[in-house]
Amino acid sequence: MAEELSYVLVTPYSIRKSRTGGIIARLISRTGLDLIRARMFAPGKELVQTYAETLVTDADPRHHATQELIRDYVLKNFLPNSSDAKPRVLLLVFSGENAVAKLRAAVGSIAPGRPSGENIRDTYGDYITDAAGNVVYFEPAVLCPPDAVAAERNLKLWARFSDTDGGVLEGISAYPEDVERTLVLIKPDNFRFPNARPGGVIDVFSRAGLTIIGAKIHFMSVAQACEFYGPVLDVLKNIFRDRTAPIARLAIEQELGIQLNEDVQKQLGEILGPINGQQNWESIVQFMSGCKPSECPPEKREEPGTEKCFALVYEGIDAVRKIREVLGPTDPSKAPPGSIRREFGQTIMVNAAHASDSAENARREFKIVKIDENNLKPFVEAFYGSL
């Protein structure tokens, strides 16, 4: 069966209540689909009204009434309110066989009654009626298309507005001018197979009490990985000078049956330490991009890599410190209980996520991963042939 594209829109209420991570965990683990693109929107009037017009299509009175409810919800909740606050909507694009049907099954239907928790709307949505059957509260949690025709139509629509209404959002949070922004990368080890880990990591980050203002699925090129982790290279070379020397000395003594002194051990560290550090650094680049720099042809260094990251921009007071506290130290074995790296990390390299260590470094990293780049629009256009 041919690959399909489909999408899920995480509603402003779900984002505001920090339910994004739990929703993403369900979407990936319950469908087995590939999360291929993500973009944050503060949708404008034209996009909202055009999208709302596409939502009422079913002739069946029961389904027609539900679709009208969704349309009215979109018109009310996707636009700025009386205080001019800009609602955030997160568009997640998935690919795979039967993508539309699989996402609809994971999302679930909208109906009054006692929820079972089986699907996303059971867990995160609400449909409350009074004794007369009138709807008194309605929250769908997420929106997704009913069929492949609607998926194509609405993905094209959101892609057309993705430059003007989407990206790293400005003026979303009521913070003072000295507010910080920081970068988080949900690392490739979370995407080895479809599972709940990416959403779980985001869910733990929500404890920092910050605002997500940007989201992007990023495939880091070898050149980007080299630049991103460039400052680490000299650090690793120095670290491995001391680590490599006694190991090399012991190996030589055992293999050759000779005794070496401290001066020789130091010389071994000076020779082998930088080599060991370089190889460990290349392994980091390979982990993030899919290829070692020494094995990558020059003409392919700038091409998107094979490994996927989920890049997120968090905004808030003291954002860098708060995110790094939740993340935990580089070595998962030394991370405190409840931190991301203790919960999800495996080794110093395979440690679930990256977070900027300063506001200055965050700005450097934003440029390297091209956080403002719109990779949604060209992808949708290429898949369907036009917008």
For 218-256, how does the pLDDT look when each residue is reduced to its tens digit (9 = 90+)?
999 999 999 999 999 998 898 888 888 888 888 998 999
Site of tokens 């209540």? 17
pLDDT of residue 62: 67
**Rounded average pLDDT over 133-154:** 92
| pTM strictly above 0.85 | yes
* Residue 64 in this model has a pLDDT that exceeds 80: no
pLDDT of residue 171: 80
**Band of residue 160 on the pLDDT scale cut at 50, 70, 90:** very high
* Residue 175 in this model has a pLDDT that exceeds 70: no
Residues 6+ apart with CB under 8 A from 224: 289, 368, 369
pLDDT of residue 44: 93
User: How much of the chain, in percent, has pLDDT values that exceed 70?
Assistant: 94
pLDDT digits (tens, 9 = 90+) for 267-309: 988 898 899 989 999 999 999 999 999 999 999 999 999 999 9
pLDDT of residue 253: 86
Query: Lowest mean pLDDT: which of 83-87, 93-97, 148-152, 154-158?
Result: 83-87
Query: Lowest mean pLDDT: which of 5-14, 173-182, 304-313, 325-334?
Result: 173-182
pLDDT of residue 361: 97
d(CA 340, CA 189) in angstroms, rounded, equals 13
* Residue 1 in this model has a pLDDT that exceeds 90: no
Dihedral in degrees, nearest 10, Cα atoms 98, 99, 104, 105: 60
pLDDT digits (tens, 9 = 90+) for 36-46: 999 999 999 99
**Band of residue 83 on the pLDDT scale cut at 50, 70, 90:** low
- All structural domains of the chain: 3-220+307-384 (3.30.70.141), 225-300 (no CATH)
Q: Please list the residues that pair with 312 across neighbouring strands.
A: 184, 215
**Average pLDDT, rounded, for the chain:** 92
